[in-house]
Chain A
Amino acid sequence: MNRENASIFLLSVAIIGFQLAIINLISYGQWYHFAYLAVSVAMLGFGSSGVILAVWPKLGQKYASKLISRLPVITGLLMLSSPLLIGIPGIRFDTLLVFTSKFEAAKLLLTCFILFLPFLSGAMVLGLFFIIRSNSIPILYAWNLAGSAVGGVLIIALSRYLSVANLASSFGLMAIVAGFFLAKSSKMKLAITTVGLAGCLLLFFQPKVPFKSEFKPLSKTLLIPDSRVIHTASTPQGTFEMVSSGSLRQASGLSLSYFGRVPLVDMAFLNAQDYAAFEKALADTAFYHQNLFSFPYWLFHSPEVLMLQPNSTFLTTQAGLLGSEEITIVEPLRPVADRLAAYPWFDERVSVVTAYPREYLINEQRLWHAIVFPSVGSFGGAGLSALKEEYLFTTESLVKAYHLLTPEGLLVFSTFMDNPPRNSLKLISLVAESARDLGLKPSEYMLAMRNWNTLLVLLKRNVFENTERDMAFNFALENGFDMVIPAPLEELNMMPDSTFQHLANQMICDDPSKGVVDYPFSLEPPTDNSPFFSKFLRMGKFRSYLSWMGADGVPFLELGYFIVWVSLAVCLLLALIAIAFPMLISVANRSFNAPVWFYFACLGLGFMLVEISLIQRTILVVGNPIMSSAVIISTMLCFSAVGSYLSSFIYIRRGMLLAILGIALLTSVLIPLGDRINLYIVGLPIYTRVVTLVLLIAPLALLMGMLFPLGMRYLHTFATNQIPVAWGVNGFFSVLAAPVATILAVEFGFSIAFASGAALYMACLPIVLLMQRKARGQTG
């Protein structure tokens, strides 16, 4: 490895690492939906670097070596400072205000611009290398991709040891080291070393906890006078914080006829969002009895209970007090699992397993009397969870859980009642559809009841006996709850109208779609292909939403969904300003080469569509989004690097044809068989799963990685002046790809998003044939 290649490698590690760290930072301070924006901003940096080199070709000729030696250090400094800058009052934006204040939207744009600069600077270095060493682009591209692959893995390792604020800045130091490798004089090396040491000091003095929105639950909790953070930990899933206070309590499902004491809780937060409650002391027994969640225990003697990611110790304490013989808690977040394992009010009947619930279900063989699912949907509505993949709440997941029940066993679900009903009806719809998939009549196997704000839904392995239904009616009556399935005789907790009960009745009918077609919200049961439980908006119903909420209110109906659209709008605006317009100006002096533009546009959009849909789809196989991102990003980039390297040994047009036909062949196998393959490998040990995934994706990534450098080689031979433009076009469409991929996945499912990406690669085929003809003409 020579110094230049080493520098490209390190800079690429820094760029991808910084990008992923920024996603973590924004997820903490704002909400994770802006992750798409971070990806797009990174792509914008790459696209506009190409444009700058196209508009000012002198940069690539006259000043290239000067810039190459200085820009990595500048990149490092920008990476070190931008996380601090975006938290400064006056610059920092707030998600919840973006939809209502133009000023706030301007601050969002400013934040994007600040984050864009390190990517622009870093990408400029890569672009300049591509220009001055255009004869060895495949090799350079290979080092670039290999570095990116390493960066994807490194962030997972570092996130355990560094705080969310330091994580982003630390990659700046790596970029400075990349600059050190390129420094020619000892004077320059000394200067860079000084800058690096100053950067280390900055890391040391940087606040460990970055800025967070004042509207995040943690911010509001810390306003309570005696609240304080008692424990903080960095985890791959985000920042964990434990808050203690003399005023925090949690008691969902509590009967209004309970007048006793409600115990205080310590609250666990993940990325400043409330995650789990830990009771500080036990309440009196009545507290655990006079609660919706106690009903399942009326049906058993000494049940064995599986609790999937319970959001409160209350549920486990309750299960223990009401006679459970054995309780196993499945908790994915390590600090929470550790705390649960050491929780003083649990006895030897309780055991804790650190695992993702869906992953656990897939590999579980044992039968249980009750499997308790976590409360689904955010409190009071879909809101910000709109685009969160909930693989635990899909028909496939419920079917699997059903098969883990003893003959008298129960699946237990809950959600908050909302108005207009969305979460509550979606949960009933999901359980009913799963029952139908199992060949069961929902009305015979389901039971549901509610209080004023919580809904409890049960699915039994065998038919609910009449005596059990009578028990349910009596339990409801005693505690002031209302039955939902079967329908109530009289409502104690009145709804504004009969919509909820009417639709709940429809859901458990043989033909559930009959009554819900006119309902303005989507109640389609989520599946593994589209696991978005809290996605309720229907494209065709916007008029209804507008008349109900008004134009300024609609975004708040399902904020997460609108954030992605805002991200797309912001990305488009930035891409037009930073890439399209300057490029059009530069093209005025060059020949307009539509096929070349089309080819690189397809590659830009196609690669990201395939990559993002694979990340989302693989969450199910490897158990969690972090692992999925690491496996897919690293595999895609690593094997694309190999493809890029191999492409230097084959003829351009033959290589292009081979790659496109290979991609067509592989995707035609992967699309129809993907689900089956996933379900087959999901039961294997984790290492086997990862290796199988890598083997499955590697050939596709390898072929995809060949097309970009082959295209560049073609331009190097036949249209050198188009190289920066191609880089820019590719960047422009890569910028839009992240939000586009998400919107496609949410609206049509992962399979369609993946197929669209593959189709874009195939759309390059006529262009390649055209290039072939043109090349023959020129050489002939």
Chain B
Amino acid sequence: MRRLLLPFMLMIPVKLALAQASDEYVSRRMNMVLTQITQRGVVHRATIKAMETVPRHLFVPNSYRNSAYEDRPLPIGYGQTISQPYIVAYMTELMKPSPEMIALEIGTGSGYQAAVLAEIVKHVYTIEIVPQLGSSAEKTLRKLDYSNVTTRIADGYHGWPEKGPFDIIVVTAAADHIPPPLIEQLKEGGRMIIPVGSPFLVQQLMLVEKKGGKVKTRSLIPVRFVPFTRAEE
């Protein structure tokens, strides 16, 4: 009997440790939302709730889990980064997401932005061009039961016409022009967010709105999508 119970008895401290770690991450996440997001002026309730819910530490490489809730972007490999929490929250708030909306994300990266949006909107379609990143993000999102996120490995330039038009389009990679197919797939009254500038230095966020068939842009705050540290090979 004791032999049978031994594996279970051994698992108790492991489970306890995991629970403790999980609690620790929850507390860090709450602190992140308080100090980095709400104190900096993000007020959109659904966004704040999503930021409190999504376990950011599961979207970063294992070696960076401890830094997952720090106020900085982190490397995810292949020269890409997961944006700093405030930027994710700020971009989400700007898109004014609501439960009936359908969103398109160009550049899945870690999948974190897609997860945050998925907490709020009806469905998120996300496209990644780097296969390794796309597969990894898909795995994480599936593991976390985000059934309202569909991923695709392809060139995001063409958007996802068969699933459009979209209420929200998020483009996470800088470009020198806004792809015409994306403007076409943006719903009347829809909003698109796009970062402009070098991905390593100072960028500005651009809000693109489609109203009355006309496209208007608005330049927003300068931000940095700077990779602060990198996983060692």
A residues near B (Cβ < 8 Å) are: 89-90, 94, 96-97, 100-101, 103-104, 214-215, 219-220, 223-225, 246-247, 249-252, 254, 256-262, 378-381, 383-384, 416-420, 452-453, 480, 492-496, 549, 552-553, 556-557, 559
Are B229 and A97 interface neighbours, CB within 8 A?
Answer: yes
Bound Cα distance A101, B226 (Å): 12
Are A223 and B78 interface neighbours, CB within 8 A?
Answer: yes
Are A556 and B200 interface neighbours, CB within 8 A?
Answer: yes
Bound Cα distance A453, B221 (Å): 14
Are B217 and A383 interface neighbours, CB within 8 A?
Answer: no
**27 A-B contact pairs sorted by A residue (CB < 8 Å):** A97-B228, A104-B230, A214-B230, A224-B155, A225-B131, A246-B155, A249-B179, A250-B176, A251-B176, A251-B177, A252-B177, A256-B183, A379-B176, A380-B201, A380-B202, A380-B204, A383-B198, A418-B197, A418-B204, A452-B178, A452-B208, A492-B216, A493-B216, A494-B217, A496-B204, A496-B219, A556-B200
List the 4 closest pairs (A to B, CB-CB), nearest first.
A380-B197, A89-B233, A419-B204, A452-B217
Q: Which of A97, A260, A556 contacts B224 (CB 8 A)?
A: A556
Closest chain A residue to B71 by CB distance?
Answer: A550
Q: Which of B174, B197, B201, B208 contacts A559 (CB 8 A)?
A: B201
Are B129 and A225 interface neighbours, CB within 8 A?
Answer: yes
Bound Cα distance A299, B177 (Å): 25
Q: Give chain B nearest CB distance to A733 CB in angstroms.
A: 33
Q: Which of B129, B227, B233 contacts A247 (CB 8 A)?
A: B129
A-B residue pair count with CB separations less than 8 angstroms: 146
Bound Cα distance A101, B221 (Å): 26
From known contacts A453-B176, A494-B219, infer whether A100 and B228 are also in contact, taking CB-CB under 8 Å: yes
Bound Cα distance A256, B214 (Å): 9
Closest chain B residue to A226 by CB distance?
Answer: B155
Q: Which range contains the number of B residues in contact with the other chain?
A: 35 or more
Determine which residue in B203, B217, B232 has the highest number of CB atoms from chain A within 10 A of its CB, and name it.
Answer: B217
Q: Is B26 interfacial (CB 8 A cutoff)?
A: no
Q: Which of B190-233 contact A (CB under 8 A)?
A: 196-204, 206, 208, 214-222, 224, 226-230, 232-233
Q: Give the residues in chain B near A381, CB-CB below 8 Å.
A: 197-198, 201-202
Bound Cα distance A378, B197 (Å): 9
Closest chain B residue to A494 by CB distance?
Answer: B218
Closest chain A residue to B202 by CB distance?
Answer: A381
Q: Which of B151-176 contact A (CB under 8 A)?
A: 155, 157, 174, 176
Closest chain A residue to B195 by CB distance?
Answer: A380
Q: Is B184 interfacial (CB 8 A cutoff)?
A: yes
State the main secondary structure of chain A at its contact with B: loop
Closest chain B residue to A252 by CB distance?
Answer: B176
Q: Is B79 interfacial (CB 8 A cutoff)?
A: yes
Q: Which of A94, A101, A379 contacts B197 (CB 8 A)?
A: A379
Q: Give the residues in chain B near A556, CB-CB below 8 Å.
A: 200-202, 224, 226
Are B229 and A96 interface neighbours, CB within 8 A?
Answer: no
Q: Which of B130, B174, B177 contacts A223 (CB 8 A)?
A: B130
Q: Which of A97, A256, A496 contacts B221 (CB 8 A)?
A: A496
Q: Give the residues in chain A near B180, CB-CB below 8 Å.
A: 258-262
Q: Which of A97, A259, A557 contacts B230 (CB 8 A)?
A: A97
Bound Cα distance A383, B201 (Å): 6
Q: Give chain B nearest CB distance to A535 CB in angstroms.
A: 15
